Amino acid sequence: MEKKGPSAAFFYTPALEFPVEDVDDLLNRLPLAMREHSHRVAVCASIMAESADAHLQLDETPERTSFAAIAHLGGICHDVGKLLLEKTNYRWHPVAGSELLERHKRELFENETMAQMVIETVRYHHEQPNGYGFPQGTTAKDIPFSAAICALADWLDHRLYASCDCKDETDLVHEIEEDAGNLFFTSVVDCFKYTQPFIMETYAKWNMLRQ
Protein backbone atom coordinates (compact mmCIF):
# COMPACT_ATOMS: atom_id res chain seq x y z
CA MET A 1 0.00 0.00 0.00
CA GLU A 2 2.75 2.41 0.95
CA LYS A 3 3.75 4.63 -1.97
CA LYS A 4 6.35 6.95 -0.59
CA GLY A 5 7.07 9.36 -3.42
CA PRO A 6 9.17 12.46 -2.76
CA SER A 7 9.60 13.56 0.83
CA ALA A 8 8.10 16.80 2.07
CA ALA A 9 11.38 17.54 3.85
CA PHE A 10 12.52 19.59 0.88
CA PHE A 11 9.79 22.12 1.58
CA TYR A 12 10.41 22.89 5.26
CA THR A 13 13.36 23.46 7.54
CA PRO A 14 14.35 21.80 10.86
CA ALA A 15 13.96 25.21 12.51
CA LEU A 16 10.20 24.72 12.24
CA GLU A 17 10.30 21.52 14.30
CA PHE A 18 9.02 21.54 17.88
CA PRO A 19 8.47 19.13 20.77
CA VAL A 20 5.08 17.41 20.89
CA GLU A 21 3.49 16.13 24.11
CA ASP A 22 0.20 14.66 22.85
CA VAL A 23 -2.49 15.07 20.18
CA ASP A 24 -4.16 17.99 21.98
CA ASP A 25 -0.83 19.80 22.20
CA LEU A 26 -0.29 19.28 18.47
CA LEU A 27 -3.80 20.43 17.56
CA ASN A 28 -3.57 23.52 19.76
CA ARG A 29 -0.66 24.75 17.66
CA LEU A 30 -3.01 25.22 14.71
CA PRO A 31 -4.85 28.54 14.17
CA LEU A 32 -8.32 28.56 15.74
CA ALA A 33 -10.27 28.26 12.49
CA MET A 34 -8.13 25.33 11.33
CA ARG A 35 -8.40 23.68 14.75
CA GLU A 36 -12.21 23.91 14.68
CA HIS A 37 -12.26 22.60 11.12
CA SER A 38 -10.17 19.61 12.22
CA HIS A 39 -12.59 18.85 15.08
CA ARG A 40 -15.58 18.93 12.71
CA VAL A 41 -13.84 16.71 10.16
CA ALA A 42 -12.98 14.28 12.97
CA VAL A 43 -16.60 14.07 14.14
CA CYS A 44 -17.94 13.67 10.59
CA ALA A 45 -15.33 11.02 9.75
CA SER A 46 -16.05 9.03 12.92
CA ILE A 47 -19.81 9.08 12.21
CA MET A 48 -19.24 7.61 8.75
CA ALA A 49 -16.67 5.16 10.12
CA GLU A 50 -19.19 3.79 12.61
CA SER A 51 -21.49 3.12 9.67
CA ALA A 52 -18.63 1.41 7.86
CA ASP A 53 -18.10 -0.84 10.89
CA ALA A 54 -21.75 -1.81 10.73
CA HIS A 55 -22.17 -2.26 6.96
CA LEU A 56 -18.79 -3.16 5.44
CA GLN A 57 -16.17 -5.85 5.83
CA LEU A 58 -13.09 -3.86 6.84
CA ASP A 59 -10.19 -6.22 6.30
CA GLU A 60 -7.57 -3.54 6.95
CA THR A 61 -8.71 -2.84 10.53
CA PRO A 62 -7.07 -5.25 12.99
CA GLU A 63 -9.10 -6.86 15.73
CA ARG A 64 -9.63 -4.69 18.82
CA THR A 65 -8.79 -1.53 16.87
CA SER A 66 -11.77 0.82 16.60
CA PHE A 67 -12.10 2.07 13.05
CA ALA A 68 -14.16 5.03 14.29
CA ALA A 69 -11.29 5.97 16.64
CA ILE A 70 -8.81 5.78 13.75
CA ALA A 71 -11.05 7.96 11.57
CA HIS A 72 -11.50 10.47 14.40
CA LEU A 73 -7.76 10.76 15.01
CA GLY A 74 -7.12 11.00 11.28
CA GLY A 75 -9.58 13.87 11.05
CA ILE A 76 -8.02 15.61 14.05
CA CYS A 77 -4.53 15.34 12.54
CA HIS A 78 -5.25 15.68 8.82
CA ASP A 79 -3.98 19.26 8.49
CA VAL A 80 -1.08 19.27 10.95
CA GLY A 81 1.39 19.35 8.06
CA LYS A 82 0.38 22.96 7.49
CA LEU A 83 2.30 23.81 10.65
CA LEU A 84 5.51 23.07 8.77
CA LEU A 85 4.82 24.47 5.30
CA GLU A 86 4.47 27.83 3.64
CA LYS A 87 1.09 28.37 1.96
CA THR A 88 2.73 28.10 -1.46
CA ASN A 89 3.56 24.47 -0.67
CA TYR A 90 -0.02 23.63 0.38
CA ARG A 91 -0.22 20.52 -1.82
CA TRP A 92 2.54 18.85 0.23
CA HIS A 93 0.87 19.22 3.63
CA PRO A 94 -0.37 15.58 3.70
CA VAL A 95 3.21 14.32 3.38
CA ALA A 96 4.59 16.87 5.84
CA GLY A 97 1.87 15.92 8.32
CA SER A 98 2.44 12.19 7.99
CA GLU A 99 6.19 12.63 8.48
CA LEU A 100 5.60 14.80 11.55
CA LEU A 101 3.32 12.14 13.04
CA GLU A 102 5.86 9.42 12.24
CA ARG A 103 8.56 11.27 14.16
CA HIS A 104 6.32 11.73 17.22
CA LYS A 105 4.19 8.57 17.10
CA ARG A 106 5.35 7.34 20.51
CA GLU A 107 4.03 10.51 22.18
CA LEU A 108 0.84 10.64 20.12
CA PHE A 109 -0.58 7.13 19.77
CA GLU A 110 -1.41 4.16 21.96
CA ASN A 111 0.23 1.54 19.76
CA GLU A 112 2.01 0.97 16.46
CA THR A 113 -1.12 -0.22 14.64
CA MET A 114 -3.04 2.92 15.51
CA ALA A 115 -0.05 5.10 14.64
CA GLN A 116 0.42 3.63 11.18
CA MET A 117 -3.29 3.79 10.30
CA VAL A 118 -3.56 7.44 11.35
CA ILE A 119 -0.31 8.33 9.57
CA GLU A 120 -1.62 6.75 6.36
CA THR A 121 -4.95 8.55 6.76
CA VAL A 122 -3.15 11.88 6.92
CA ARG A 123 -0.76 11.07 4.07
CA TYR A 124 -3.46 10.02 1.60
CA HIS A 125 -6.47 12.20 2.55
CA HIS A 126 -6.23 14.35 -0.59
CA GLU A 127 -5.68 11.46 -2.98
CA GLN A 128 -8.55 10.40 -5.25
CA PRO A 129 -9.61 7.03 -6.71
CA ASN A 130 -9.19 8.41 -10.24
CA GLY A 131 -5.52 9.27 -9.59
CA TYR A 132 -6.00 13.04 -9.87
CA GLY A 133 -5.56 13.85 -6.20
CA PHE A 134 -2.43 15.20 -4.55
CA PRO A 135 0.40 15.21 -3.74
CA GLN A 136 1.27 11.88 -5.37
CA GLY A 137 -1.61 10.98 -7.71
CA THR A 138 -2.21 7.69 -5.89
CA THR A 139 -5.06 5.59 -7.30
CA ALA A 140 -7.84 3.73 -5.50
CA LYS A 141 -5.97 0.45 -4.90
CA ASP A 142 -3.30 2.25 -2.85
CA ILE A 143 -5.54 4.61 -0.84
CA PRO A 144 -6.45 3.35 2.66
CA PHE A 145 -10.15 3.30 3.41
CA SER A 146 -9.58 5.51 6.47
CA ALA A 147 -8.08 8.20 4.21
CA ALA A 148 -11.06 7.92 1.86
CA ILE A 149 -13.41 8.51 4.80
CA CYS A 150 -11.37 11.55 5.86
CA ALA A 151 -11.39 12.90 2.29
CA LEU A 152 -15.19 13.00 2.12
CA ALA A 153 -15.48 14.38 5.66
CA ASP A 154 -13.05 17.18 4.74
CA TRP A 155 -15.00 17.95 1.55
CA LEU A 156 -18.31 17.96 3.43
CA ASP A 157 -17.02 20.37 6.05
CA HIS A 158 -15.98 22.89 3.41
CA ARG A 159 -19.41 22.59 1.83
CA LEU A 160 -21.68 22.44 4.87
CA TYR A 161 -20.14 24.67 7.51
CA ALA A 162 -21.59 28.18 7.21
CA SER A 163 -21.54 27.99 3.41
CA CYS A 164 -23.60 30.67 1.72
CA ASP A 165 -23.98 28.66 -1.49
CA CYS A 166 -24.61 25.23 -0.02
CA LYS A 167 -27.11 23.27 -2.12
CA ASP A 168 -30.08 21.51 -0.57
CA GLU A 169 -29.61 17.97 0.66
CA THR A 170 -30.94 16.30 -2.48
CA ASP A 171 -28.53 18.21 -4.72
CA LEU A 172 -25.67 17.57 -2.31
CA VAL A 173 -26.25 13.81 -2.33
CA HIS A 174 -26.61 13.83 -6.11
CA GLU A 175 -23.30 15.67 -6.50
CA ILE A 176 -21.51 13.21 -4.20
CA GLU A 177 -23.06 10.23 -6.01
CA GLU A 178 -21.90 11.60 -9.37
CA ASP A 179 -18.33 11.78 -8.02
CA ALA A 180 -18.40 8.23 -6.61
CA GLY A 181 -15.51 6.26 -8.04
CA ASN A 182 -13.72 9.41 -9.19
CA LEU A 183 -13.29 11.79 -6.24
CA PHE A 184 -14.70 9.49 -3.56
CA PHE A 185 -14.82 5.77 -2.87
CA THR A 186 -18.26 4.39 -3.72
CA SER A 187 -18.30 2.56 -0.37
CA VAL A 188 -17.60 5.84 1.46
CA VAL A 189 -20.44 7.53 -0.41
CA ASP A 190 -22.66 4.70 0.84
CA CYS A 191 -21.48 5.39 4.41
CA PHE A 192 -22.45 9.03 3.99
CA LYS A 193 -25.90 8.08 2.70
CA TYR A 194 -26.46 5.81 5.71
CA THR A 195 -25.53 8.61 8.09
CA GLN A 196 -26.74 11.63 6.13
CA PRO A 197 -29.58 12.65 8.50
CA PHE A 198 -27.29 12.64 11.54
CA ILE A 199 -24.50 14.49 9.72
CA MET A 200 -26.88 17.16 8.40
CA GLU A 201 -28.42 17.59 11.85
CA THR A 202 -24.96 17.94 13.38
CA TYR A 203 -23.99 20.64 10.89
CA ALA A 204 -27.28 22.46 11.43
CA LYS A 205 -26.43 22.68 15.15
CA TRP A 206 -22.88 23.86 14.45
CA ASN A 207 -24.14 26.55 12.09
CA MET A 208 -26.69 27.75 14.63
CA LEU A 209 -23.95 28.10 17.25
CA ARG A 210 -21.91 30.12 14.77
CA GLN A 211 -24.61 32.77 14.37
Averaged over 76-86, what is the pLDDT?
90
Q: Is 133 left (phi over 0), alpha (psi -120 to 50) or beta?
A: beta
List, for residues 4-54, the tens digit of each pLDDT value: 455 545 555 544 567 788 899 889 999 999 999 999 999 999 999 988 766
Domain boundaries, the chain: 18-210
- From first CA to last CA, the distance across the chain in angstroms is 43
pLDDT of the residue at 16: 54
The pTM for the full model equals 0.88
The CATH code belonging to domain 18-210 is 1.10.3210.10
| b/e burial code for range 157-191 (CB count within 10 A of at least 16 → b) | beebbeeeeeeeeeebbeebeebbeebbbeebbbb
Determine the Cα–Cα distance for residues 91 and 41; give it in Å rounded to an integer.
Answer: 19
pLDDT of the residue at 118: 96
| pLDDT band, residue 2 (cuts 50/70/90) | very low
